[in-house]
Structure 1
Amino acid sequence: MRKAALHNLGCKVNSYETEAMQQLLEEAGYEIVPFAEGADVYIINTCSVTNIADRKSRQMLHRAKKMNPQAVVVAAGCYVQSAGEALKLDEAVDLVIGNNKKTELVRILDDYFASEDHTVEETVIDIGAAKDYEALTIKRIADHTRAFIKVTDGCNQFCSYCIIPYTRGRVRSRKLEDVRAEVERLVEAGYKEIVLTGIHLSSYGVDFEEGGKKTLLDLIVCLHEVEGLLRIRLGSLEPRIITKEFAEALASLSKICPHFHLSLQSGCDATLARMNRHYTTEDYLSRCEILRAAFDCPAITTDVIVGFPGETEEEFQTTEAFLKKVHFYEMHVFKYSKREGTRAAVMPSQIPEPVKTERSGVLLSLEKEMSLEYRKQHLGKTTEVLMEEEYEWEGKRYMIGHTKEYIKAAVPFQEDLKGSMISGILETLLNDEVFLLKN
């Protein structure tokens, strides 16, 4: 029996694909071992979102070869697509598997081991020409309470800082009935909550042929019917998908979590234009207002990039003021990182790293302040918490989980609470991030 070790780099979509590849290997008889010395096959699901991600991918591939020079080192995913022929010359890499080829992992390994000179047929396709969704599926994931479900691949947006349309191709959506079948299997395995995710989730169904058109809302309504499923959480959404009709439809579905991640990137219209984002701040704010009209105190979270090329101090201050106006629950703040092959990488007025760091610090402080203010709005409210893991605070043991709004809450530790839904009142804050639930 051959031993295989897997390592994931990058986003939730990559995590899903790594889980799926692991299960393919298990079904083929491989023993899955930790990513350490002693494996016969090392599979690194790479990331290429920034130059730094490329470097981390290379480092991990070389680390695997050092752990066992006789092992087969497999580079899979986005870095494979962006590096092209250069990666095949890397002596640390034995096999490359591009996107939309991961389902063939076991067959590719079989061919490699069966060939005297270890040659296999082409394993990297022109991802820009791919039209079919890659049929990876999972039966379980490491987290036994919440399951991330990949439903789309590819992106048609072409933001000026992003390489993803070139490494993932155009939008490809998974068939609705396939998603439902996977969710039903996961619910039977004990999962209570699913998170719908994809490279560009809001574009679900845009690639379906006329006559068979389905939208993200159609998918959500279908999954809402799955018996035993308690919660449906949505991954990152394009702001323009939020219409009054869409929000009201979601609000009518009891399993929907009122937790919405609307990607912003900048609170300045001039910066948004340079980023090739397809909305203005006024448009974005109106979508947040629609959600707040449809839901009682929904959690709205976002991503913000600081130090984008050409971002003046005035533009940054405009962004800061807009973030305060929207008042997010959580913000993921990123310092702009150059990605070769994108328009932003060659834009004039690149921002010095110390300026990026300073601006990032300002927004991280603002994030902490706004997040605590949002949590305090929930003091005294009755809610349900899906218990996930053990938590220790000031020497005491608790079980901790999340409300539908993704607020952390804890109860005194008891055995066998993981996966349980506990009702109670958010009585007090244990600390700035965790409530104590009185049940």
Structure 2
Amino acid sequence: MTKRLFIKTYGCQMNVYDSDRMAELLAPLGYAPGDAPETADLVILNTCHIREKASEKVYSELGRLRPIKEARGCLIAVAGCTAQAEGAEILRRMPFVDVVVGPQSYHRLPELVARASRAGGAVLETDVPVDSKFDHLPEAANAPGPSAFLTVQEGCDKFCTFCVVPYTRGAEWSRPVAAVLAEARDLAARGVREITLLGQNVNAYNGEGPDGRRSSLAHLAAALAEIPGLDRIRYTTSHPNDFSDDLIAAHRDLQQLMPYLHLPVQSGSDRILRLMNRRHGRQAYLDLIDRIREARPDLALSSDFIVGFPGETDRDFEDTLDLVRRVGYASSFSFLYSPRPGTPAATMAAPVPDEVARSRLHALQALLTNQQVAFNAAQAGRTLPVLFEKRGRHSRQAIGRSPFLQSVHVDDADHLIGRIVEVEIVSGQQNSLTGRLPVATEDAMPPLRQRATASRAVGATPA
């Protein structure tokens, strides 16, 4: 008998990857994906704990699920980082929850769901097992589409004072090269043209290679580039301190490595960076950007910024604005500082008044938005290779991604989903591009590795 499974995912791309694997794990138990919690036999909230608002959203959602459970008797599970950090608190505040499982233990989800079904009581599993959860995961059963996420690294050893990741995801750990390549080959065989390598600190990747030696992210990317049909490689999220020379060289030499880089800096103030325990200064970050751009001049950059960190002054904030102006970002994410229990920053003195922090965030976001709009507008008149991923809202419209990760909307292109096609960019908006198909070039582009090296000018077709 088929049972319905509904998974709601919060937070990062790694949670998206984890949610897909949870669905695959539960398929042998008869669970098939459902569209809504109201008709589900099992509801999973895969949670994020980076900011207070993300955690409170989980409790609010659980409150909405309670009458559904009382009416239908469905099982409710909470997974992910909030489960890891607040497992006991979840069960105290929401005693109707059946399963609480941390991100390192979700491979045991079928067993935990079975136990909860039999015993009728809550099951809590937030231990960090010695063995890798990846050793217990089945091969992906469903074709994910033209692009897919692939987790290669987990955890973080940096211990930034504002961050809960070292406590919820554990120490840095990398999957072996052979395991990553095997999953990537399987994805490519099922039509995936682009993969995004995921990790909390992905450029710290040092998985064991076939010869027993440790492999860098650059070496892994080079091996992935040899897989037939895999034409695009991306990765996120990186730390400036782990950006190695060979990774810079990979951006210069690997055609498949897309010219888009997410490299969080968090603040442009040396004083705040020290308080954050970032272990790098603003000049080191700017120098690194210069070196990467020298290797790959058309590189588009994005970053993360925290506004209102304890002790942040007007001068510190002006340093952040200055850094943003110097770098010039294609897109970025910015947030108000959110104290997380158990982190050193949560007990720091000199909190920034809320109205001051919000005013600064508004100013920063206005600057970042202007940069994003300008970058997108600059693509108008150019021709970019677009990987079409899905249908658009309008008839025969398709949506794809440019090399710079921009969403591209094109009419009369729904027959090209799964293919890389040259698209003339008509206009650029804040969050997307509008394109059209050249009259005589609607056929798919050959794989990137078969094309001649193209111009490195910003917006030109990447090599």
TM over 0.5: yes
- The CA distance in 1 between the partners of 2:333 and 2:139, in whole Å, is 28
Deviation at 1:300, TM superposition (A): 0.9
- The CA distance in 2 between the partners of 1:405 and 1:415, in whole Å, is 21
Which secondary structure state, in structure 2, belongs to the residue aligned with residue 339 of structure 1? coil
Matched residue, 1:344: 345
For 2:351, give the aligned amino acid. Answer: Q
- The CA distance in 1 between the partners of 2:75 and 2:209, in whole Å, is 38
Per mean C-alpha deviation after superposition, the further-off stretch among 254-263 and 371-380 is 371-380
Residues 107, 133 of structure 2: 8 Å contact kept: no
For 1:402, give the aligned amino acid. Answer: R
1:159-170 matches, within 5 Å, as 159-170=160-171
Cα distance change on mapping 1:291 and 1:95 into 2, 3 Å: same
Deviation at 1:305, TM superposition (A): 0.8
- Number of aligned residues: 432
Matched residue, 2:205: 204
For 2:117, give the aligned amino acid. Answer: F
Matched residue, 1:108: 112
Which secondary structure state, in structure 1, belongs to the residue aligned with residue 107 of structure 2? helix
Cα distance change on mapping 1:248 and 1:379 into 2, 3 Å: farther
Q: Does 1:406 align with 2:408?
A: no
Deviation at 1:38, TM superposition (A): 3.1
Deviation at 1:165, TM superposition (A): 0.7
Per mean C-alpha deviation after superposition, the further-off stretch among 383-392 and 254-263 is 383-392
- The CA distance in 2 between the partners of 1:263 and 1:209, in whole Å, is 32
Deviations 1:109-130 (A, max 9, x none): 2233334x6476x6221x3x75
Per mean C-alpha deviation after superposition, the further-off stretch among 414-423 and 305-314 is 414-423
Cα distance change on mapping 1:233 and 1:105 into 2, 3 Å: same
Deviation at 1:50, TM superposition (A): 2.1
Which secondary structure state, in structure 1, belongs to the residue aligned with residue 298 of structure 2? coil
Aligned partner (choices 411, 427, 430) of residue 429 of structure 1: 427
Q: Does 1:123 align with 2:125?
A: yes
- The CA distance in 2 between the partners of 1:92 and 1:185, in whole Å, is 39
Cα distance change on mapping 1:363 and 1:71 into 2, 3 Å: same
For 1:170, give the aligned amino acid. Answer: A
Deviations 1:274-317 (A, max 9, x none): 11101111110111111111113210111111111111111111
For 2:97, give the aligned amino acid. Answer: V
Q: Does 1:225 align with 2:229?
A: no
Deviation at 1:74, TM superposition (A): 1.4
- The CA distance in 2 between the partners of 1:204 and 1:309, in whole Å, is 31
Which secondary structure state, in structure 1, belongs to the residue aligned with residue 416 of structure 2? coil
Which secondary structure state, in structure 1, belongs to the residue aligned with residue 289 of structure 2? helix
Residues 377, 428 of structure 2: 8 Å contact kept: no
Aligned partner (choices 82, 94, 101) of residue 98 of structure 2: 94
Matched residue, 1:59: 60
Cα distance change on mapping 1:141 and 1:65 into 2, 3 Å: farther
Aligned partner (choices 75, 80, 83) of residue 77 of structure 1: 80
Deviation at 1:205, TM superposition (A): 1.6
- The CA distance in 2 between the partners of 1:263 and 1:12, in whole Å, is 15
Matched residue, 1:321: 322
Give the superposed CA RMSD: 2.5
Which secondary structure state, in structure 2, belongs to the residue aligned with residue 254 of structure 1? coil
Deviations 1:224-272 (A, max 9, x none): 1111111001112111333444212332111110101111100111111
Unaligned runs of at least 5 residues, structure 1: none
Cα distance change on mapping 1:37 and 1:381 into 2, 3 Å: closer
TM-score (norm 2): 0.86
Deviations 1:102-152 (A, max 9, x none): 11111222233334x6476x6221x3x756354446626786222111111
Residues 380, 428 of structure 2: 8 Å contact kept: no
Matched residue, 1:151: 152
Deviation at 1:437, TM superposition (A): 4.1
